Chains A and B, each alone.
Chain A
């Protein structure tokens, strides 16, 4: 023990958490653009202008214009909003359900736990895109069904993380004591244990958010999910496909935005994790 303590001190040097700073900056900027995009965009996102088709990026059109002469920057701003809305709802649904199911299975164990774990294994067994496609084709397209199907696909990972944390804490001395006090099970689950898994869960939420953004873009790229004329990053990428050589900025703008968002959230989760430790 003593030995370990001495060696631990090596890692305890106070360093500035650059991951967190950079992550906060990148995601903050995106969030700002997304919220701004709801109320105001430089141009109307659906206003077409035949004279300005495929205009290269300039001060007039920051990211250029697309095949209908629409301002790409305005559409990216709106697209971020759409993508963020869908992916955060997905994480909210999947994460919320993950907490409830994971808490119960992890805390009680036994047959229920075993059964649910096998179900999550089965869901994990399918490639996630394929599974989403199947669910969407059964339920039909549209944003609501896209959110629903992505939530189902994302749920197992949340369940597993929450479950393993609850298993870790269910036999901790202070939980045993809470039981001895006569504390109710629901209170033990959500008041006594849940706050302790917060930092772990936050990390998985940021990672989940990342994956949800990628998944939404992928789905819209494939043509299910967001329908035109609503802008979404994935849909824009898909539309830009035909003009890669003539108007590369059309694909680059939404593409790089996705990269920026994903990188921002990755840095943020890394930052949170290193801070939690």
Chain B
């Protein structure tokens, strides 16, 4: 139905899509998989005619049935594109928060499509919208119709977006990372919905994602892209069972899955049980009946505060050298808990007992966790300087500090030449390495890692996890590892806490929880992950 032939797209002379060819058959779900910067989004935007003027089609063409939508060297026919958009192809974006107009009721926004492309009277338009809302699984469609976007949850907004996209029964639906911004349990519902819709409405779908697992579940065929080129394409099963290209293998291998369990953890657990001494050592961190509150209301001078409880009655401990995984969906209170443990939120009730000095933290976003105005070398030395100022005993000479920083640079797998570079020159994965180095250079003993790999590409994710694991074992580090991704948790941790709506609902050894989950919610998480 849609054929993309030898497509090349360039921004300011640099090609970001190189000679890409694939086709989508009627009713087929085609997955385009690749890491950030692989050109998958640009390809989709070119197909939709949504590229900015700086982008130039330098080669190839795009055909929809018999119509040429875009061709190299020709000006875009905006009228032709307009007649195609919405009615023959439409798109669902990643961010459900920004793709709906916040000042217009969602019902009206959905109606807009019908108003532009059909001559239906207002009454029928409304019935059609309500039908669509019901089709995408929005309960109480009438109420949703009259709601503003901010009154809906992320999942509901994405359902509205899908309803809007398919209301005109387009032949092709392009979904650009439609579930990336959503929680796993919601993610699964949306994937199921997309599949159902494409069967009911008989539309083809171009599904763009960085997540191989999702593509595996949804797509008939898969195109793997890297650096603007198609690396491999074929039936989903064939790609997963016998990938031909090295990169595809690496990609599949990198996805944290429950099949590949790290041996060392099992080993260390067994060892710990044999080794009575380590078992009896006092825990590094003890948390008893901890409630964490969050101040609501403006912090203006005269207005009062309301306290909202975000974590209720949390009790757990972390032993020396142990990695405790904390898993839960967004808003479950895992970050509030970590902040309370580090003493950044003083609105707490209960007991937090540290047996280490200066616990450190690794953050999710590699782009905001390094001070952009400093060099890597300076950043690595700063914790030592701070420690020296607080305690004269550990004060180091400038040369020792430099040497320690160079050594850490080696440990985190960066070349010496990075010492004088600034964070802006580093990739996301490299920055996360520096973050880890900065946290560990003072040998803190206890570390909180708050979603340290969530913002990274899968292949980089695997490397960072490996690095964390090896450093953790080497330094006998205790770690609270927070993630929404249950597979990452499985790979990293010795014990697991499952958190939901501010409460720890299940805890236990990793194997135990993953093999025999007690709570229904844990089971759901395991199924979705």
Chain B residues whose CB sits within 8 angstroms of the CB of A3 once the complex forms: 41, 45, 50, 93, 176
Are B52 and A192 interface neighbours, CB within 8 A? Answer: no
**Interface size class for chain B?**
35 or more
Out of B368, B370, B387, which one reaches A181, CB within 8 Å? B387
User: Smallest distance from the beta carbon of A100 to chain B beta carbons, Å?
Assistant: 19
Interface assignment of B227: CB less than 8 Å from any CB of chain A: no
Out of A6, A7, A182, which one reaches B387, CB within 8 Å? A182
Q: A2-B41, A183-B382 are in contact. Are A173 and B365 (CB under 8 A)?
A: yes
A109 to B438, CA, bound (A): 28
Are A10 and B53 interface neighbours, CB within 8 A? Answer: yes
Closest to A115 in B: B301
Chain A residues whose CB sits within 8 angstroms of the CB of B55 once the complex forms: 6, 9
Chain B residues whose CB sits within 8 angstroms of the CB of A44 once the complex forms: none
Are B382 and A6 interface neighbours, CB within 8 A? Answer: no
Chain B residues whose CB sits within 8 angstroms of the CB of A109 once the complex forms: 299
Are A177 and B52 interface neighbours, CB within 8 A? Answer: no
Interface assignment of B94: CB less than 8 Å from any CB of chain A: yes
Chain B residues whose CB sits within 8 angstroms of the CB of A176 once the complex forms: 344, 361, 363
Out of A2, A13, A175, A180, which one reaches B361, CB within 8 Å? A180
Are A6 and B389 interface neighbours, CB within 8 A? Answer: no
Interface assignment of A195: CB less than 8 Å from any CB of chain B: yes
Interface assignment of B417: CB less than 8 Å from any CB of chain A: no
Out of B42, B50, B52, B386, which one reaches A183, CB within 8 Å? B386
Interface assignment of B203: CB less than 8 Å from any CB of chain A: no
User: Smallest distance from the beta carbon of B39 to chain A beta carbons, Å?
Assistant: 10
Interface assignment of A196: CB less than 8 Å from any CB of chain B: yes
A174 to B12, CA, bound (A): 34
Are B176 and A196 interface neighbours, CB within 8 A? Answer: no
Q: Which of A158-203 contact B (CB under 8 A)?
A: 172-184, 187, 192, 195-196, 198
Interface assignment of A121: CB less than 8 Å from any CB of chain B: no
A10 to B386, CA, bound (A): 43
Q: Which of B74-117 contact A (CB under 8 A)?
A: 93-95
User: Smallest distance from the beta carbon of B479 to chain A beta carbons, Å?
Assistant: 15
Contact indicator per residue, chain B 430-474, by CB within 8 Å of chain A (1) or not (0): 000000001100100000000000000000000000000000000
Chain B residues whose CB sits within 8 angstroms of the CB of A1 once the complex forms: 94-95
User: Smallest distance from the beta carbon of A236 to chain B beta carbons, Å?
Assistant: 43
7 contacts across the A-B interface (CB closer than 8 A)? A1-B95, A2-B94, A6-B52, A9-B12, A10-B52, A177-B363, A178-B371
> Known pairs A6-B52, A174-B371, A178-B386. 18 more at Cβ < 8 A?
A6-B41, A6-B42, A9-B12, A9-B54, A12-B12, A13-B54, A172-B368, A173-B363, A173-B365, A174-B370, A177-B369, A181-B383, A181-B387, A182-B386, A184-B389, A187-B386, A196-B372, A196-B373
